[in-house]
Structure 1
Amino acid sequence: MKPTQKKQQSLQAELLAPAGSLEAFFAAMEAGADAVYCGLQSFSARAKAKNFSFQDIAAMTRYVQQRDRKLFVTINTLVKEQELPALIDTLAAVEEAGVDAVILQDLGVWRVARNHFPDLELHASTQMTVHNAAGVKQLEKMGFSRGVLARELTLPEIQHIRSQTRLDLEHFIHGALCFCFSGQCYFSSYLGGKSGNRGRCTQPCRRRYSQRGKDGYYFSPNDLSAIELLPALQDAGVSSFKIEGRMKSAEYVSNVVQAYRMVMDATGKDRQSAVEDARKLLKQSFGRTPTKGFLAGRQPTDMATPALRGSTGRYLGEVTRATDNKLFFKSRDVLNLGDRIRIQPGSDKVGTAFTVKQLWAGRKPVKKLAAGAACVSHTFKGRFKPGDAVFKVSSQKAFAMSDAACRRRLQQVGAARQPLTLNVAVDNQQLIVCAEVGQVCLNASYDVDMFAAKQSPLSKEALEQVFRQCGDAPFELTTFTTGTLPDMIIPPKRLKEVRRDFYQHLQRDVENAGKKHQDQRRKRALASLLPLQSEHPAASQEVTVAIKDIREMRALDSHEIDRILVPLTTAVLHRPWKVGQRQRRGVVWDLPFVIFDQEWTTYQKAVSHLIQSGFTQFRLTNLSHFELFKKFPDVRLEASYRLFCLNSEAMQAWQELGAVSNELYIEDDADNMKQVVQRRGSHALYAMVYGSIPLITSRIRIPGLKGGQPLLSDRGDGYQVVSKAGLTVLRSDNDFSLCGALPQLYEMGCSGFVVDISHLGAFSPQGKKVLESFRQRRDLPHTSPFNFVAGME
């Protein structure tokens, strides 16, 4: 095909839209989405969205499939041990509903689905931090049909991944961006137990911070908008274009889907004008300032603008005066009755949104105000102050369809029709009907009156015409046969009675068979869950200390330290190893959780060099790392807390992939940790008891922010920013410590403990204080137990 011909084609990738409500679902459908993804009322990474019941999902699935579209359900949160039975019920329900795929993060969900609900197609969420070809290859081996790539990738990096895999690749093209690699943010959880990996993020990254007296929204990225890059993304190998926004309104969904549909359907010379029209439409979506993100290159300069507030919506201005019932400000945009605005306080607390029901020009009520002086009535006495920001978040022209109207539309959706094979025979005044629907067979005989045919005797065509009318029964006659038919007539009324009765019984049998089949799968899944152990196996409870670098290897000389955790860098390639057997046994090499493809070969060489030098223990921090060791079956692979282990199914999944141990999840609380440990069997489970938590890890460079300088939140909390190896890491001034909880962790039966002082140094005064606090089983001042005591939501 000539290049000029290729340019004439419309884009064939799937357009995938979000739906956090029924109104948004129908907005996506009417605007031209090929597929929709949505969450349930549990296990959704957008817990604050309205989300959907199982009955909703079943009806929505029928709706989309009757229109040759698709529905994906997100079960993309981390699952606690006690939630596994509910997870099984959820997977059984969505499989029964016939959804097109499940999007997941937790390998516990993967294991249960793979083993007990094999009809479910599985997509790997962007929360799994898949950012290289090795990660995608691992997904292929695990049976995933699609991977949602990390948003930190450039177009050439995506293209390289495509060249290494046949897996469907999905990538975000529009919407809010996380500052952190998805799935690796602990900021919200650290501040109050509301975990982003459990769908409850409070978005502390959107707040204002101060460094050296200068305020800025340093961790609040602009919104992704790749409207001009769709052809390049498809050429790079992306087969699904994903729009973010399950928390957004139906109006947002409608505008954004229409804009991208317009560009995707345009061809040749019409595409550029379509892009211009789409941009105008996207301005009505009330998002943040647009950026192409990393799709424009490795060092985008417009991803984060510290001077811009992190709130969504079109910025109108600041409140100049507020009374008990009126709000005054200078608006940058036209205001209409029916517009929805949000008032965002300067303190960065949660804003207040309301629909404009009264506008004033002086003392005169009006329906519309031009840009300029604005006065709006409100009912929030005493809540607003001068300096608060005003944002328009939707317009009077919003996609309007009530929840009741949406439900009425769904109720009109008939059941999905199943292929029906039917044979009809006549024998001795009886009509014998035999049917097959899937694995269900039904045979029935009906007494019928037959009369000699003077003309038009009973025929296959006549019988097929009767039985093809399935009515409300969820069948579609695909194969129809008859035996030899007598030269007789059966009254049409009787044939219709037979058809109606037979289809009623067949429908009941099919429904019962489906319920029985699903119930059997559900029971087998429940029975497979690991029970609590009455006696815990003896735990070695060895002590591993994470150090700054290999120069601190002499920490192993301490009889109280069993192992050291050493950062694996490519510098090891230039070091000849002459260490004793004890030292080799005592070293665990810690892999960086981000290894882009351009670095992969170097790390392969580093791993090979270490193994040839006699080292056999490695700590993995990303799913892709298993690919590094596929040629080295005898090494010991340990899964870090970044490889989520909140339940016994996930623990077993990591075992099956080759990990000989896991670290309990850093965000977890004591109750859930105990439940997981009590099911560990012979699998080793370690607990980190000290460390500096990487609240955010990002590929984004922050303009105007100096590494090593203290950073303060508007609440007075202190943080440190470290920039290293192309990544930005935000850490709290207060370290994480469970040293005081060591007796409780010993009692649980943990296999060992990790003391991470890599940020301090093993021989620094503070590092020595930490080791002493570990020995004495007490916490140092100004440390935090994270969620261990207070719990994780």
Structure 2
Amino acid sequence: MKKICYNISGGFCMNKIELLSPVGDWDCLLAAVQNGADSVYFGSTLFNARASANNFDVPTLKKAIQYCKLRNVRTFLTLNILIKNSEFNDAINLAQKAYEFGIDALIVQDLGLARYLIKNFPDMPIHGSTQMSIHNLEGVLELQDLGFKRVVLARELPLNEIQYICKNSKIEIETFIHGALCISYSGQCLFSSIIGGRSGNRGKCAGPCRLPYELLNHNNVSNKETTMDKGYLLSPKDLCTLDYLPQLIDAGVKCFKIEGRLKSPEYVATVTRIYRKYIDKILNKEDYIVEDSDMKQLLQIFNRGGFSSGHLSDSPNKNLIFKERPNNIGLFLGNISKFSSNKGHITLTLNEDLAIGDTIYTEKEDSKYTVSELMQKTLNLTHAKAGTRVTIGRMKGNISVGDKVYKLNSKELLNTARLSYTNCENKKININANVIVKKRIPISISVNYNNSVISVSSDVVPIPAINSPITSERIIKQICKTSNTPFNFKTVNVQLDDGLFIPNISVLNELRRNLLLKLQEHILAESARTSNFGLNNITLPYNILKSEKNNNKKISILLRNINSDTDYSILDFKNISSLYIPLKCFVNKKLEKTLVFLSDKVNTYVYLPSVIKNNYKNIIKKYLEDIIQKYKIKGFVISNLSNLKFLEGYKSNFEIIGNSSLNIFNNYSIKECAEYGINKVTLSRELSKTELEDILKYNLDIDTELIVYGTLPIMSCNYCFLGKSNMCYPECKRLCSDDNSYYLKDRLGFKFRIVSDNIQSITSIFNSKILSISPKTFNVSSVRIDILDENVTTINKIIETVKSGKSFEGKEYTSGRLEEEK
């Protein structure tokens, strides 16, 4: 057991802490509610980030909301994917139905959809999904200004930054506390989308981060490659924050979110029950001791090589990844000391309890075994304690002495979980009743619920008693029989005249049933809403078709790296309209002369990163004014909504270009960007040819840009694959600063470039293929060429190809996501 000392500050209202549980199907809903969730989140069959879950159709959605309303549990609907123009009406229709059913909030990723809902359904709270990549105070304040009620923070934030955000914002803050972690910032991962056509931003992630990779060191001098590491190098352990709950509460977090809409009901039940227990310990000001048995149950129900605290600690990288196996490993049971292949017997000394019906597996064998034969010498057992030397029968396959054995499932734990939500009512609304049993009037009962009096009367009038008059105690006993209902009579006040008799005691039962039925109807009627909004009110913000095609597109160049030794004077400036240069280059004094030359030759924009940590915020504040004074800066490229806050004082004098990482997917999002003062938007890299044409066929009041060439990033990770310390010099070897190149090689032989940012300890993973598409099909204002490390001669050839409306062909190139999604 681990005792954690804590002292919750008095400024935060602890009784408002919310435990939010995942729901992927109806049994998961029961599991979450009956095990103590304050709120649940689930998706419909459309527009949610877990498309493979058994999501709710519209009738079941209504039923789920009503089930929760009757148990005082809040419901959140996930509309947390990017929405196409063609889907917008259906998305609003679904939101409207949920609104009328009484949903408590919508969780949204798409900027255009979120703002549309905020404007048209002002009394329906909108929560910013973690897919919006909100990772600093500036991003939180931006959503606050836009009318969001709550923001789900990126999982990459350490505890001190969460505390800083809570302290300096008024919006509700939600954080994940348990479950699967993504190695990339959510919303910034295009891995599954680009290599397989299944987009995480569309709810269809195929999980390439759970596949094996090799980490390669490519020596650029000798041209030799060496393998530095191998395994499931992108697969994080699951998050567990039991040790951090007191600090997170003290930080001011409003809502604690459990991940797991693809998990089993037993998982939801177990994890919800345990976190409910420890949140209540804090609320009740009890000693906070994390019991070994609870931690073991969490590990048993699901773990990937143990748990990590995610990014909450000061050095999360050291314990973030489990490279041996990407899925549930269960609990280590022991090593095989004896194996009889003829009998199918393995012998081992147990590290954990084991029982008939438990599921086990051995490390080299893919098959799982349900324990059906358990022996201690010649004695058959139904259960064996840890420390017992046992023989397990009916085992076969690739098994050897010394192999590790794991207990994947505990029959007892699964049964306990199922019993917690099957045919039972643990989650009840407390009510206070008033029963009137008086002479010459019908018996009646009433409750006061939310300042409304609900009452029912019987036709029965009590009569004078001959022998045994009815007592208040007997009345209370009958009225309080609510075991199969979602209500509990906290108090029952009985107004009883002396000497009365009720001819049939079942009258009280009928009164109770009628009262609770009427109360249910009242609660559901109270929670339902009416909407005057009609789908015929939805019109595209731009609906006038363009009269002509732009055949003279401007060309923008992003130079991800600047080299002071490179002769940029031979660059084809006459065909370049804009040059984007990362902020980090302007900070490097060695590049000053080169940057002066470039900014004198062409319109130059400071390119801000999609992730800006606290240390980088200080760099921006320190250098931004100096950069503007020293160089001819035309404007800025923003890669995250938070960037708008950093540039509040500059928007009127400089052009603002929205990057593709803003995930602009529809005309509504474009319109919002125009209203924010953004001058140009770069369209999402995940739009198909048809979807791009559907956006670009209209006259827009803002310029558009499309990336047509480049080795492009597909992940942004708060993780250093090279140093694994998450700390820059002198804590690591600074391999990111040497002249070698580093790659992740997948099982098919494709190599994905790793580029580390040693200022922020952010790693970008780049696609194995180069994007190259013909720009002439698309009616955009400008096209972008993204340069990672090509030389100037190559850059000029790329410009010539793009200018001519052509693309490069070959196995090293890709057309990206122009084909329709899978």
TM interval, short-chain normalised: 0.7 to 0.9
Q: Does the Cα contact within 8 Å between 1:556 and 1:563 map onto a contact in 2? A: no
Task: Identify if the C-alpha distance between structure 1 residues 710 and 548 changes in structure 2 by more than 3 Å, giving closer, same or farther.
Answer: closer
Q: Does 1:774 align with 2:778?
A: no
Give the letter aligned to residue 606 of structure 1.
Answer: Y
Separation in 2, partners of 1:691, 1:237: 43
Q: Does 1:171 align with 2:199?
A: no
Separation in 1, partners of 2:35, 2:159: 27
Separation in 2, partners of 1:629, 1:788: 32
Match of 1:290 among 294, 298, 307: 307
Q: Does the Cα contact within 8 Å between 2:713 and 2:767 map onto a contact in 1? A: no
Match of 1:561 among 571, 576, 582: 576
Q: Equivalent residue for 2:745? A: 712
Report which stretch shifted further, 669-678 or 120-129. Answer: 669-678
Q: Equivalent residue for 1:223? A: 238
Match of 1:242 among 230, 253, 257: 257
Q: Does 1:65 align with 2:95?
A: no
Q: Equivalent residue for 1:119? A: 123
CA deviation profile, 1:551-589 (whole Å, cap 9, x unmatched): 576466531222211111274496599959983761122
Match of 1:644 among 649, 663, 667: 663
Q: Does 1:700 align with 2:716?
A: no
1:625 is displaced (CA, Å) by 0.5
Match of 2:638 among 620, 644, 653: 620
Separation in 2, partners of 1:572, 1:692: 24
| Aligned CA-pair RMSD | 4.3
Separation in 2, partners of 1:687, 1:578: 25
Q: Equivalent residue for 1:48? A: 52
Task: Identify if the C-alpha distance between structure 1 residues 64 and 675 changes in structure 2 by more than 3 Å, giving closer, same or farther.
Answer: same
Task: Identify if the C-alpha distance between structure 1 residues 704 and 622 changes in structure 2 by more than 3 Å, giving closer, same or farther.
Answer: closer
Q: Does 1:264 align with 2:279?
A: yes
Report which stretch shifted further, 710-719 or 698-707. Answer: 698-707
Give the letter aligned to residue 691 of structure 1.
Answer: G
Give the letter aligned to residue 280 of structure 1.
Answer: K
CA deviation profile, 1:219-256 (whole Å, cap 9, x unmatched): 11111111011111111121111111111111111111
Q: Specify the SS of the correspondent of 1:545.
A: strand
Gaps of 5+ in 2: 1-5, 216-225, 430-517, 725-734
CA deviation profile, 1:624-649 (whole Å, cap 9, x unmatched): 00112212223211111100112111
CA deviation profile, 1:440-465 (whole Å, cap 9, x unmatched): xxxxxxxxxxxxxxxxxxxxxxxxxx
1:398 is displaced (CA, Å) by 5.4
Task: Identify if the C-alpha distance between structure 1 residues 147 and 251 changes in structure 2 by more than 3 Å, giving closer, same or farther.
Answer: same
Task: Identify if the C-alpha distance between structure 1 residues 79 and 343 changes in structure 2 by more than 3 Å, giving closer, same or farther.
Answer: farther
1:153 is displaced (CA, Å) by 1.1
Give the letter aligned to residue 765 of structure 2.
Answer: R
1:397 is displaced (CA, Å) by 3.5
Match of 1:756 among 766, 786, 808: 786
Task: Identify if the C-alpha distance between structure 1 residues 398 and 277 changes in structure 2 by more than 3 Å, giving closer, same or farther.
Answer: closer
Give the letter aligned to residue 716 of structure 2.
Answer: T
Separation in 2, partners of 1:33, 1:334: 30
Q: Aligned ranges for residues 302-701 of structure 1 at < 5 Å?
A: 302-306=319-323, 308-314=324-330, 336=355, 338-339=357-358, 356=370, 374=392, 393-397=408-412, 518=531, 520-528=532-540, 530-531=542-543, 533=545, 535-536=547-548, 538=550, 540-549=552-561, 554=569, 558-569=573-584, 571-572=586-587, 583=600, 586-612=603-629, 613-632=631-650, 633-679=652-698, 681-701=700-720
Separation in 2, partners of 1:629, 1:112: 25
Separation in 2, partners of 1:615, 1:303: 40
Gaps of 5+ in 1: 379-383, 415-503
Matched length: 680
Task: Identify if the C-alpha distance between structure 1 residues 727 and 735 changes in structure 2 by more than 3 Å, giving closer, same or farther.
Answer: farther
Q: Equivalent residue for 1:494? A: none
1:293 is displaced (CA, Å) by 2.0
Q: Does the Cα contact within 8 Å between 1:62 and 1:413 map onto a contact in 2? A: no
Give the letter aligned to residue 619 of structure 2.
Answer: T
Give the letter aligned to residue 802 of structure 2.
Answer: F
1:702 is displaced (CA, Å) by 3.0
Give the letter aligned to residue 636 of structure 2.
Answer: F
Q: Specify the SS of the correspondent of 1:616.
A: strand
Separation in 2, partners of 1:327, 1:641: 58
Separation in 2, partners of 1:236, 1:629: 28
For normalisation by structure 2, the TM-score amounts to 0.73
For normalisation by structure 1, the TM-score amounts to 0.75
Q: Equivalent residue for 2:294? A: 278
Task: Identify if the C-alpha distance between structure 1 residues 9 and 108 changes in structure 2 by more than 3 Å, giving closer, same or farther.
Answer: closer
Match of 1:724 among 741, 752, 757: 757
Q: Does 1:201 align with 2:205?
A: yes
CA deviation profile, 1:524-560 (whole Å, cap 9, x unmatched): 4433464472635646510011114455764665312
Task: Identify if the C-alpha distance between structure 1 residues 678 and 407 changes in structure 2 by more than 3 Å, giving closer, same or farther.
Answer: farther
Q: Does the Cα contact within 8 Å between 2:115 and 2:146 map onto a contact in 1? A: no
Q: Specify the SS of the correspondent of 1:709.
A: strand
Give the letter aligned to residue 248 of structure 1.
Answer: K
Report which stretch shifted further, 711-720 or 136-145. Answer: 711-720
Q: Equivalent residue for 1:738? A: 772
1:728 is displaced (CA, Å) by 4.5
Q: Does the Cα contact within 8 Å between 2:771 and 2:816 map onto a contact in 1? A: no
Give the letter aligned to residue 621 of structure 2.
Answer: Q
1:79 is displaced (CA, Å) by 1.5
Q: Does the Cα contact within 8 Å between 2:178 and 2:259 map onto a contact in 1? A: yes
Separation in 2, partners of 1:332, 1:375: 18
CA deviation profile, 1:260-304 (whole Å, cap 9, x unmatched): 111111158843335545323323322221111221114541112
Give the letter aligned to residue 729 of structure 1.
Answer: T
Q: Specify the SS of the correspondent of 1:642.
A: helix
Identical pairs, percent: 26
Q: Does the Cα contact within 8 Å between 2:51 and 2:204 map onto a contact in 1? A: yes
Q: Does the Cα contact within 8 Å between 1:10 and 1:265 map onto a contact in 2? A: no
Report which stretch shifted further, 176-185 or 280-289. Answer: 280-289
Give the letter aligned to residue 300 of structure 2.
Answer: Q
Q: Does the Cα contact within 8 Å between 1:567 and 1:589 map onto a contact in 2? A: yes
Q: Equivalent residue for 1:470? A: none
Task: Identify if the C-alpha distance between structure 1 residues 409 and 32 changes in structure 2 by more than 3 Å, giving closer, same or farther.
Answer: closer
Separation in 1, partners of 2:602, 2:340: 69
Give the letter aligned to residue 92 of structure 2.
Answer: I
Separation in 1, partners of 2:391, 2:213: 31
Q: Does the Cα contact within 8 Å between 2:557 and 2:786 map onto a contact in 1? A: yes
